[in-house]
Every structure is written in C-alpha cells, then in structure tokens.
Amino acid sequence: MSTEGPRTEMSWSAWGDPDAAAPLPDAVVELLGAGLGVKRPGVRAGEIAAVRLPVSRLADTLRSTLASAVGGDNVLEDAETRVRHTRGKSTPDLLRLRSGEADDAPDAIVLPGSHDEVMAILRACAEEKVAVVPFGGGTSVVGGLTPRREGFAAVVALDTRRMNQLVEVDEESRTATFEPGLLGPEAEALLSERGYTVGHHPQSFEYATIGGFAAARSSGQASAGYGRFDEMVVALRVATPAGELDLGRAPKSAAGPDLRQLILGSEGALGVITSVTVKIHPTPAERVYEGWRFGSFSDGAAALRRLIQDGPVPTVLRLSDEAETALNLARPTEIGSGASEGCLGIAGFEGTAADVAARREGATAVLAEAGGESVGTEAGESWVHGRYRGPYLRDAMLDAGALVETLETTTFWSKIPDLYEGVGDALRSSLSDQGTPPIVLCHISHVYPTGASLYFTVAAAQTDDPIAQWWQAKSGACDAILAAGGSITHHHAIGTDHRDWYEREVGPLAIEALQAVKARLDPGGIMNPGVLIPEAAAPRIE
C-alpha cells in the first residue's frame, strides 16, 4: 500500500510549502527595529537557476552502473534537483543558499525503489570511492546532510522517496512496517485507513520521513503519551556497504546488546534504513488540549515534574518560559507591556472519551494543587493549529533582517535550573558582545520521570556575517550545555554541527568504539562521512 500522487516539494531556500509562507506584518517589522536593532532586510533568495553549482564529478562508468541498478530516469544530475538536495534547513544552511552558494551540492541524486536497489547503489559507490548521503525529507538542522568531500571521487544523495510503501499492518501485535521514504502525513494517512496512528508529530512532521525519524532519534510533540520514535521502533532492516542487518525478532530480548539501538540515531553514517517496524495505536476517539498558567518557569517545571512522575500522564505536556509566553500570547502592540504575564503550559489528552476524561480530571487536580490556573482549551487549540508554523516565522524574520535559530538540550530534573540559566546566559553574552543583544526564549518540550528537554529560540539583528555570528553564539551555548551537565542534543541529532561536543560528552573510548563499528559496516567510509562520527586518527608509525 503506497501513497498516491506527487508530494509537495519543499522550498529550496526556506522551510516547507512556498505557498504557505507569508511576510511579517508591518507592526512586527517595526518591533524588530525597536527591540532588536534590526536596521536592514536580510538576504533574500533569487532564482534557483542563479545558484552557483560545481560541475558534477560523477564518472560515466558509475553513472551507467547506477542507471542499470535503478533505471536511468532515477539518476538525476540536473541543476534544480542538485540544489534541492543541498544541505538541510538550519538557518546557516538557508543563508548560504540564499546567497547563491551551493559548493557542496551532491554530484547526483539516486532514487532507489527497493532494499536490493539500495544495496546495489552502496556496492557500486564503495567500489568507486563515492560518498553516499541518505536523504529523506531534507529537514536536518545540524549539518546532517553536509558530508566531508575530501578523499572521495564524488558525492551522491540517495533519496528514499520511491520507497513509500506501508508494507504490513499486524493488528494482533499492533505493529506496522513501513519503507523509509514515507513522509509523516503519508504514513499517518495510510494507517488512518485501518483505524490506527503512530502518534509521532514533531515540528518537522509534514516534511520528514519515517526513515529520518529513526535515523535521528526524533521526538514528537506527544512524546509524553506515545513515547519518542526510538521507543516506538521494534524492528529495522538496514543496507550497509558490508551487507544487510535484519534487527528485531521480538519486542524485547536478552540476546546480547540491542543492536537496533546502534542504528537508531546513526544518521546514515552506518548504512541506509530500508524498513522500519513500529508500534501503533488505535486512532484516538477524542483529543483535548488546554492551557495552564503558572507564576514562574520554575513553578511550572515543578508542576510538570510532579505530573509526569506521579501521574496521571497527559499525552502532550509542555511549558513556555515568561518571554516565550509573552511573545506567543500578546498582540504585537502589547509585547513588553506585561499583557501576557507568567508562563503558559499545554496539557493534551488523546484516547477514548472515558480515558481522556479520567486523565484530564486527575491532571487538573494535580496542576491546580501545584499552583496552576486553567485558562481553558482556547490556548491549547491555538497551539495545535500553529504547532508546525515556527519555521515559516523564522524564514520571514530572516527576510526582515533578524537572525533567528533554535537549539535544544536535555538533562535530569535536578540540573534543569542550571542548564536553563547557563545556556540562556551564554547566548545573551555572545550575541551582546557582537553588538546584537538578543531575545532568548525557551520551553520544556518533552518530559520524562527523570528529566526533561529545553528548547531555546534566539533572535537578534543580523551582522554583516550572520553565519559566523550564529556559530560563535551556538559554540558558547554548546560549551554551556556540557558545563551544566546537559546532553548536546535531545532530538535534533549530531550531524556535523554537534560532532565536537558529542566527542567531549561521551569520551574518546566511546568514539573509538563507534569508529570500529563504522569500519566494519562501512569499510570504505562512504556513508555520510564526517557526520556523527569523528574521523578516526591515522595510525601512528613508530
């Protein structure tokens, strides 16, 4: 069972559907000038045909071999397709493309239609020393689609969009097996026909793929109820240059380390995920989302902790700090006026009518006792209707001349206050030192009995070199994350942007173990080289 019709292509120089983008209201543009010192518009994209591309380096012999494997129509080297497969959707990625620079575009894009075709591509590219970048929705925001090119004859993007089948629904076990190229909405539509849902809705949901969710350890906005995507996965099939991995014979097993966990979060550095089996749930009969106001971020965090630890647990549970609450709820003319004081939390409930009613009643008692004030369902429904709009707003602010970007982290509850303060201070200090004092917003986006994630949004006026400006700020924030005992990422993954801090977080022995695994599964090092796993040091010669 597969999807019908062509999918909407993402904008090549911005997020999402080009028809859904909208300019900022004049009042907001004026506020950017008054509040952040934005003095001039940002660089806007020209025509895609004007983007500078290097000449394709794909050898004729490899082109012929790939065409034999997947069909000539599925080996693409035209300029537009190469640009659309260049980098991901982080602010630096888009700024470089908007300036017309695509020096690291793939030399070709290959579209396999099956596991066997993926294996054939990997064998051919390994033989010719050509790097392979697995490409799903192209939504990476951490440099996950920007491999190291040195030492390779060429780079190809392996686009999984033709692998778009719902292979099987096991209703007795409540599992579904997907090919990796299905977009989130496509997978949900196919399951909905059978009365089921995966329950995975990250902000990238509309354009990210099932394979990408697994490869990046994605976490959806309803993770309190359904779990993270890596917790949903029960089986995987993986094509590697060294052969095939077929992992997951049972929900749980004591048969050695769980090798599924080796692939989840591997970001295409070990192989290509060609099949994913996940837990599924009956489509909820009822969904209710409501807002709760707390006097402070610390008060709200304590309430969320109490609820997730002792129950009843909502399906969605999140909390904005004071600054984010004010910007999200106030009208433009009221920003900074105290019109929206306190912190807004969102509690959502999905399930049968009886289950929703019972959990909602219990959660209401807990949150009220913890000092929360219910503000009704309007705030909750507003969040639901706007939960995929953030990246569009980011792009409109880039057009207006503001630098806007996000980062996220996670830690245990006892360390949340220090992490929140340390990262916020680092961002404010770095950007203020560059003459562009920022506004820093934060929310708790995912909660667990033992800890939570913090998601920061940063806005400042752009300097003449906004890419360097952001990198300096983010580097300081990443240092602060490790200093406060946080993890360098909760759900955005490592890519190339976080790689150095990942090495510091886990230590040299852990990195050497990963390098050894990569050397076995990918002897030629062709899989997304430089992403996730630092390059192994050259052997010492005594």
Starting at the edge strand found earlier in the chain, the sheet holding 439-447 runs 373-376, 286-294, 343-351, 316-320, 439-447, 451-461, 402-412
Q: Using CB atoms within 10 A of its CB, is residue 11 exposed (0-12), middle (13-18) or buried (19+)?
A: buried
210 and 259 Cβ atoms separated by less than 8 Å: no
273 and 241 Cβ atoms separated by less than 8 Å: no
- Spell out the long-range contacts of 193-198 with Cβ–Cβ below 8 A and sequence spacing 24 or more: 194/169, 195/282, 195/283, 196/169, 196/280, 196/281, 196/282, 196/283, 197/280, 197/281, 197/282, 197/283, 197/284, 198/226, 198/232, 198/278, 198/279, 198/280, 198/281
- Show which residues are catalytic: 455
Alpha-carbon span 126 to 479, nearest angstrom = 37
Tokens of 408: 């996220």
517 and 262 Cβ atoms separated by less than 8 Å: yes
Tokens of 242: 């060294």
Q: What are phi and psi of 293, to 5 degrees?
A: -105, 135
SS3 69: helix
End-to-end CA distance of the chain: 59
Alpha-carbon span 186 to 207, nearest angstrom = 10
351 and 226 Cβ atoms separated by less than 8 Å: no
Q: Using CB atoms within 10 A of its CB, is residue 406 exposed (0-12), middle (13-18) or buried (19+)?
A: middle
Which ranges in 79-152 belong to alpha helices (H)? Answer: 79-84, 91-98, 115-128
409 and 454 Cβ atoms separated by less than 8 Å: yes
Which ranges in 252-321 belong to alpha helices (H)? Answer: 260-263, 297-310
SS3 296: coil
432 Cβ neighbours under 8 A, 6+ residues apart: 438
